Amino acid sequence: MKNKNFILFLTLSFSITATNAEVKPNSLFSDHMVLQRNVAVPVWGTAADGEKVTVSFNGQTVSTTAANGRWMIKLEKLKAGGPYTMTVAGTNTISINDVLVGEVWLCSGQSNMERQLGPRPPQQPIAGWEKEVSEANYPQIRQYFVPEKYTPTPLTDIGSKWETCSPETVKNFSAVGYFFARDLYKEVNVPVGILFSAYGGTPAEHWTSKAALEADPELKNLVDDYLKAVKGYPMALNKYKENEKMFLIKFREDSAKAAEENKPIPKKPMPPSDPVTSRSIGTLYNAMIAPMIPYAIKGICWYQGEANNGRTKQYVPLLSAMISSWRKDFEQGDVPFLIVQIAPYKDMSPEIREAQLIITQKVDNTALIVTTDVGDSADIHPPHKKEVGARLAIAAEALAYGKKIEYSGPVYQSIKIENDKAELSFTHTGKGLVSKDGELKGFTIAGADSVFMPASATIKGNKVIVSNSMIAKPVSVRYGWSNVPNVNLYNKEGLPATPFRTDK
């Protein structure tokens, strides 16, 4: 078979024992699944070599022969609807029930995407979660949960299942994913399936395949550092073992001293982690993305960046490479990739938000979901997820479904200096710029000395005029340029402007 994804599966395949020779579809193809409409739909699984496998679904029957323990077929374009039954037949026959056809989105990232709708102490509860749960009677919204896992080599099956949205199940849905799916469902009026694959505290390089990192000269150092760590691990482990007794004695002494002085107890010494089996580049891709390839999807919602906050310059090529590689692997073209900007928090720099903005300006068919008004300065997990899901759905409606709506808040375009004032132009002004709840705030201005001072700002048509009486010849303007921006520039569609700086 010439299909490139089939070659990928042959590469990733493992030996199938006689006890596993029966025809078996991948766990993605299970009761309550949602298949993507209007595209060819791959279906795959395992079987004995040479076994004929036949898939029947909604009037289509497609056969193939298993090779190296694996098989794959493609269904022709499907129309939205259901429920249907799919049968997969070889020496045995499997029926997959309650199958819907509609829209499938991958929701991925770290903890703010991973956070479920129900309570999870000690984190703050999701705002209004009890009411949302009680009203979550949407049987045409489904979620496939991907367990959190790292693996050094790509997996072929996640071994999970689909769940139908109801007040009994929705507490375990991604909060952002649920709100996105619910709003999207109301708009497109067809079933919506969410592939929920997120893991808290994880950097983007863990979600990017090693091959994609190696292929990019700007990112190859990540691979080099990993290989260096692998090579140095045996020596580091031996050194720890040789000195472990001394380390532990010192730890006990330091702990006793800290207790006497009422200071925090020092961290107990631990042996170094094996980079091959622990968290490292590509390992989340291997365990939580690769097994879903090439499931037919419409687009991707991405909420991540906190773990890359200290390496913002690298984040631009890194996430750009990840987007490109995921799109290539899923073979659905340049599917929409919707990026949630990191919300205000005391430890999140403005540079990470800028990096996310730059990516959406460099990479086609992407959108930035601005969250300056739904953050929490003291909590990296803000409870206001409903607004995030709603804005993701708006962006999806525009990028994926061609709805002629404004899907972004104002984005800085250019600066023009006239005497002692700076005139700022924007894209995505929609029906016009507005200042929410009073005069504009969050702007600073600087002259040639690059000393930024608070500025007065007023809206003039679709432009913003910025000045400070102490600066006769302004050069640069910044907006929301802090860890916790206090800002209020919107368009009339109610979407907030992204923070920016005119000095690069």
DSSP per position, 373-402: TS--TT-SS-S--HHHHHHHHHHHHHHTT-
For the stretch 400-439, pLDDT in tens is: 999 999 999 999 999 999 999 999 999 999 999 999 999 9
Amino acid found at 110: Q
The candidate with the shortest Cα–Cα distance to 117, out of 159, 165, 149, 158, is 165
- Mean of pLDDT over the chain: 95
How far, in Å, CA of 124 to CA of 131, rounded? 16
190-228 burial: b if 16+ Cβ within 10 Å, else e? bbbbbbbbbbbebbbbbbbbbebbeebeebeebbeebee
Average of per-residue pLDDT across 88-104: 98
Indicate whether 127 pLDDT > 50: yes
The separation between the first and the last C-alpha atoms of the chain, rounded to the nearest angstrom, is 50
Q: Which residues contact 346 (CB under 8 A, 6 or more apart)?
A: 377, 378, 483, 484
State the pLDDT at residue 9. 46
Indicate whether 15 pLDDT > 90: no
Tokens 């720099």 map to which residue? Answer: 349
- Dihedral sign, CA of 14, 19, 25, 29? negative
Tokens 């794959």 map to which residue? Answer: 72
Indicate whether 54 pLDDT > 50: yes
State the pLDDT at residue 2. 44
Residue ranges and CATH numbers for the domains of the chain are: 4-209+282-399 (3.40.50.1110), 213-280 (no CATH), 411-501 (no CATH)
pTM higher than 0.85 for the full model? yes
**Among the ranges given (12-21, 343-352, 359-368), the one the predictor scored with the smallest mean pLDDT:** 12-21
For the stretch 469-485, pLDDT in tens is: 999 999 999 999 999 99
For the stretch 290-318, pLDDT in tens is: 999 999 999 999 999 999 999 999 999 99
How far, in Å, CA of 443 to CA of 480, rounded? 7
CB 490 within 8 Å of CB 410: yes
How far, in Å, CA of 439 to CA of 456, rounded? 9
- How many CA within 13 A on the CB side of residue 487? 31
Indicate whether 142 pLDDT > 60: yes
Tokens 């404004």 map to which residue? Answer: 406
For the stretch 146-197, pLDDT in tens is: 999 999 999 999 999 999 999 999 999 999 999 999 999 999 999 999 999 9
